[in-house]
Copies of this chain bind each other. A is one copy, B any other.
Amino acid sequence: MLSFENDYSCGATPEILARLAEANTTTFPGYGSDDICASAKAKIREACGAPDADVWFLVGGTQTNQTIIDAITPPYAGVVAAATGHVNVHEAGAIEASGHKVLTLPHHDGKIDAKELNEYCATFYADANYEHMVFPGCVYVSQATEYGTLYTKAELEAIAEICHAYHMPLFVDGARLGYAITATGNDVTLEDLARIADVFYIGGTKVGALFGEAVVFTHHGDYSDTPKHFLTLIKQHGALLAKGWLLGLQFDTLFTDDLYMRIARHANEAADRIRATLRDKGYTLTFEAPTNQIFITLDEPTRERLEEHVRLGFMERADETHTVMRICTSWHTTDDQVEELLALL
């Protein structure tokens, strides 16, 4: 059956599989101390325009969020996130399991607002009893967000400014970063992100890799240094892959010849075509989102009709008679699949 259910259903780009086959019998040192990891890190630093950045490879998103947030948030503090943020809703309490509260702000199509962040912090420190409360210790945003929306450069800069005014690092979850950077209308480049964020990651799992997230500590200011003994912290969180070279190999491939951006752009183009048709046909797009995730609000008959032929992602019940569903393209979406979906719509 046709599936636009999510962007982590298939394996990896053929380039990665080929490279893997090639490297399979080489003897690598463990835990990421190999040459391919070094090469991948160099390429990422270059792509970020951040020669001082420090790059690490982890396996998956929740693991990465948990490990980073626990490492950069002081023990008396929590992480500020949108109420809809992945760390608040869909990580089974991984953040709290490592001892930190998620402090929520209202979301606007999945995004937090710099002014509301400022107000939150100002109110916190103005409270006579703030020492009895959980300090805002770092800020988590996703680019793209859980709703496929994007922060503009100005929005991210405004958030970063508030973060630093309140001595907090800004952490950007880039599980779908490729789809963000190559989206139509996006104005935040990888270099911008490396300049604005204190730490972020470049998602591989959803963008061409079998698995893997490349964490970048940007080392450009007071809040962006790698936490002390970060390797040990990764290990302590059960997140250190023995064959770290598998991660390096994938990112080294993705950051060769712009592969990462090329395959992400491909997914966005497919999404753009689907969005155009949805608009033409009068479908309700739930959010104005330019990336590979398209949310549509469907009445039940339409939903049932579509789901006979194509697997979509369930988002939430909108009301008694409508459901929000997700159409998700991916680096591996083919033209045929898009055509087939367009025909269904």
A115 within 8 A of B: no
A129-B326 Cα distance, complex, nearest whole Å: 14
What distance in Å separates the Cβ of A60 from its nearest Cβ neighbour in chain B? 6
The distance in angstroms between the C-alpha atoms of A232 and B11, with both chains bound, is 24
Q: CB-CB < 8 A to A211: which residues of B?
A: 241-243, 246
Render A288-332 as a binary contact track against B, CB cut-off 8 A, 1 for contact.
000000000000000000000001001011000000000000001
Most buried by B among A3, A28, A62, A236: A236
Contact A92 B8 (CB under 8 A): no
Q: How far is the CB of A33 from chain B (nearest CB, A)?
A: 10
Q: Which residue of the partner chain, among B24, B29, B96, B238, contacts A99 with CB atoms under 8 Å?
A: B96
A residues 227-267 near B (Cβ < 8 Å) are 228-229, 231-233, 235-243, 246
User: Is A165 in the interface zone, CB < 8 Å from B?
Assistant: no
Bitwise interface map of A from 205 to 242 toward B, beta carbon under 8 Å scored 1, else 0: 11000110000000000000000110111011111111
* Closest residue of B by beta carbon distance from A26: B10
Assuming the contacts A17-B21, A59-B59, A243-B211, asked whether A233 and B75 have C-beta atoms less than 8 A apart, the reply is yes
Chain B residues within an 8 Å CB radius of A26: 10-11
Interface residues of A in 1-48 (CB under 8 A from B): 3, 5-6, 8-12, 14, 17, 20-21, 23-30
Looking at the assembled complex, report how far the CB atom of A30 sits from the nearest CB atom of chain B, in whole angstroms: 6
User: A24 and B11 in contact (CB under 8 A), knowing A62-B238, A100-B96, A236-B76?
Assistant: yes
**Which chain B residue shows the least CB distance to A28?**
B9
A94 CB-CB contact with B under 8 Å: yes
| A 96-119 to B, binary, CB cutoff 8 A, 1 in contact else 0 | 111111100000000000000000
Q: Which A32-73 residues have a C-beta within 8 angstroms of B?
A: 59-64, 66-67, 70-71
Contacts of A76 in B (CB 8 A): 92-93, 228-229, 232-233, 236
| Residue from B70, B238, B243 in contact with A210 in the complex, judged by beta carbons closer than 8 Å | B243
Interface size class of A (residues with CB under 8 A): 35 or more
* Known pairs A9-B27, A21-B17; A238 contacts B237 (CB<8 A): yes
Q: Is A279 an interface residue (CB 8 A)?
A: no
5 interchain residue pairs of minimum CB distance: A63-B238, A11-B24, A92-B235, A92-B236, A76-B232
What are 11 A-B pairs with beta-carbon distances under 8 A? Answer: A8-B30, A9-B27, A60-B242, A63-B238, A63-B239, A90-B129, A91-B132, A94-B238, A96-B99, A131-B229, A205-B243
Q: Give the distance in Å from the alpha carbon of A133 to the alpha carbon of B96 in the complex.
A: 12
Least distance between A166 CB and chain B CB atoms (Å): 14
Q: Is residue A344 within 8 Å, beta carbon to beta carbon, of the partner chain?
A: no
A5 CB contacts on chain B under 8 angstroms: 27, 29
